[in-house]
Amino acid sequence: MRKKIFKNMCLLAVVTIFLSSLLVTFAYYGTANSRMKAEVREEARFIQGAVELSGQEYLDTVKGTPNRITLIDTDGSVLFDNQADPAAMENHAGRQEVQRASTTGAGESTRMSDTLAQQIFYYAVKLDNGQILRVACDTDSVFAAVLAVLPWIVSAALVVTLFTVLFSNFLTKKIVAPINQLDLNAPADDKVYDELAPLLTKINRQNEVIAQQMKSLREKQEEFTSITENMSEGFLVLDRNTDILSYNSSALRLLGADAAPAESHGSALALNRSAGFRSAVDAALSGNRSEQLVRQGGRCCQVMANPVLRDGQVEGAVVVILDITEREERENLRREFTANVSHELKTPLTSISGFAEIIQNGIVKPQDIPRFAGNIYVESQRLISLVDDILNLSRLDEEDVQLERETFDLAALARDVADRLKDSAKKNGVVISVLGNKTPANGVKSIVDEMVYNLVDNSVKYNKKNGRVTVTAELLPEGPTLTVTDTGIGIPQGDVDRVFERFYRVDKSHSKEIGGTGLGLSIVKHGAAFHNAKVSLESVEGQGTTVRLTFPH
């Protein structure tokens, strides 16, 4: 814009100078020409007077004058010429000025000479004797006059142009400066040029629209980000070259990328390059939905990759990553439980069926039948207690159990349990002692009874000869607490976490020597969960175990 303004101003100046110079030249030429003509006429009349008075001889006196003086006879032949030989000159009767002079008494004409640069003005007058006197004057033509002035025009134009360049430079800057200083963020405030007002208003309106759209875009983006960021599932959007377009922090966490190398939006394979992830992404980018498991650092993730199609072309992929570690663990536990239940139920049934079979076949002597029947009885008792335990457990699993809660004395309950287990303890050579005063606790008495029974029973069963079991009931600041301590065989450190699992036994042989179903501590755990009570277990292998139940107030 500055350049254009500057250029136009310069052009205007130059054209102006050129045109005005031309006009001045023409005007000057016009006046000079008419003065010259007047002088020639004057001279012609003067000579006419002189010739009429003193005859042709006068003409000899004007031989040296700059103007050409010619005397032409009535028939057109030249009588005298002060610059050429009259004899060599042709007949002048046909000349325009001569003809006019012979008819009207005076005539003039202007003719170009041989060169364009000169023109000749002729003035002719008729003498009394009919002869024609002609005076001619050479003058520069207009063209030559202009040509003569041209150096002046050019030099003036140069000077003016120089001046114009400087001035228009300054002027242009001045014109453009307010436009350069326009605040495009608030264009409506500017009032420098009225011509710009519609444009500025439009910009202003568009600014508002853009700001509005940006705001809504940002809000949408934030909404999207807050959704994806709060998802525990990993989320990735990839383009055709596996470059990350969008991701959430869960994805980084689940893929095991500690830092966020996705900042530079590199390839997703930089986050995780395990075979599962690779094949899922590859499959999605070739247009197929794919699900893969990725195991990494003790975690199991399900990677689901879907192709993003546009006009039937794969544009990228959306990858969702689920952490299924827990689900996998639960699945394993459930499978184990089912296998355990089947095994535990099958063992006594196989024995019963075996005993019954040999009795049926009559192989057993009649006197042995009571012993076999006894065996069948023991096995079926075991089966019954097993089914009882499973029923108890599933009853506790049902969350909406409606059982009567009451306040009871933990110490009394413990004494009652100890009393019931007295025979079993005597058989194992273990002494049970119950300590503590009245400790009121709130809960379902039958369930708590079951829990305490299982704990004390375990302590008796997994004890050594001449061992001791101490049950303490007390009211601690945390709540009513029951502690069962024994001097038994203890639990190996590696198994402490697992003893609360159903059917889990430290002794894998499921030996019948000790009996038990492997469900005791599981019942304790579920019962405690039912009462919102806390269970803690400490054990030193070979020295004994302490289990503490803390009930809420």
Contact residues: other proteins, CB under 8 A:
241-243, 259, 261, 266-267, 269-270, 273-275, 278
Nearest-approach distance from CB 322 to other proteins, in angstroms = 22
Nearest-approach distance from CB 215 to other proteins, in angstroms = 30
Nearest-approach distance from CB 270 to other proteins, in angstroms = 5
Q: Which is nearer to other proteins, 62 or 269 (CB)?
A: 269
The Cβ of residue 306 has, within 10 Å, a number of other Cβ atoms equal to 17
Q: Which is nearer to other proteins, 62 or 270 (CB)?
A: 270
Nearest-approach distance from CB 282 to other proteins, in angstroms = 9
Cα separation of the two ends of the chain? 87
Place of tokens 């990677």: 303
Report how far residue 336's alpha carbon sits from residue 101's, in angstroms, rounded to the nearest whole number.
Answer: 147
Place of tokens 């020639």: 40
Q: Which is nearer to other proteins, 9 or 238 (CB)?
A: 238
Q: Which is nearer to other proteins, 268 or 519 (CB)?
A: 268
Paired tokens of 409: 């004395």
Alpha-carbon distances, residue 136 vs 30, 44, 216, 449 (angstroms): 18, 9, 94, 156
Nearest-approach distance from CB 271 to other proteins, in angstroms = 9
SS3 of 374-422: the string is HHHHHHHHHHHHHHHHHHHHHHHHCCCCCCCCEEEEHHHHHHHHHHHCH
* Radius of gyration of the chain from its Cα atoms, rounded to whole angstroms: 65
Q: Which residues contact 132 (CB under 8 A, 6 or more apart)?
A: 71, 72, 74, 92, 98, 101, 102, 124, 125, 126
Report how far residue 21's alpha carbon sits from residue 159's, in angstroms, rounded to the nearest whole number.
Answer: 14
Q: Which is nearer to other proteins, 279 or 347 (CB)?
A: 279
The three-point CA angle 266-271-273 to 5° equals 110
Report how far residue 326's alpha carbon sits from residue 328's, in angstroms, rounded to the nearest whole number.
Answer: 5
Nearest-approach distance from CB 3 to other proteins, in angstroms = 31
Nearest-approach distance from CB 263 to other proteins, in angstroms = 12
Q: Which is nearer to other proteins, 194 or 258 (CB)?
A: 258
Nearest-approach distance from CB 315 to other proteins, in angstroms = 15
Chain CA centroid to CA 461, Å: 67
Report how far residue 150's alpha carbon sits from residue 142's, in angstroms, rounded to the nearest whole number.
Answer: 12
Q: Which is nearer to other proteins, 258 or 423 (CB)?
A: 258
Nearest-approach distance from CB 500 to other proteins, in angstroms = 32
Q: Which is nearer to other proteins, 238 or 411 (CB)?
A: 238
Q: Which is nearer to other proteins, 266 or 429 (CB)?
A: 266
Q: Are 403 and 513 in contact (CB under 8 A)?
A: no
Q: Which is nearer to other proteins, 76 or 261 (CB)?
A: 261
Nearest-approach distance from CB 261 to other proteins, in angstroms = 6
Nearest-approach distance from CB 267 to other proteins, in angstroms = 5
Nearest-approach distance from CB 262 to other proteins, in angstroms = 11
The three-point CA angle 105-106-111 to 5° equals 145
Q: Are 425 and 432 in contact (CB under 8 A)?
A: yes
Report how far residue 455's alpha carbon sits from residue 445's, in angstroms, rounded to the nearest whole number.
Answer: 15
Q: Which is nearer to other proteins, 289 or 295 (CB)?
A: 295
Q: Are 446 and 531 in contact (CB under 8 A)?
A: no
Paired tokens of 161: 């142009």
Nearest-approach distance from CB 323 to other proteins, in angstroms = 22
Alpha helices (H) along 55-118? 96-104
3-state secondary structure of 181: coil
Q: Which is nearer to other proteins, 220 or 240 (CB)?
A: 240
Q: Are 444 and 403 in contact (CB under 8 A)?
A: yes
Alpha-carbon distances, residue 351 vs 209, 366, 372, 379 (angstroms): 86, 19, 10, 7
Q: Which is nearer to other proteins, 140 or 239 (CB)?
A: 239
DSSP state string for 116-139: TTEEEEEEEEE-TTS-EEEEEEEE
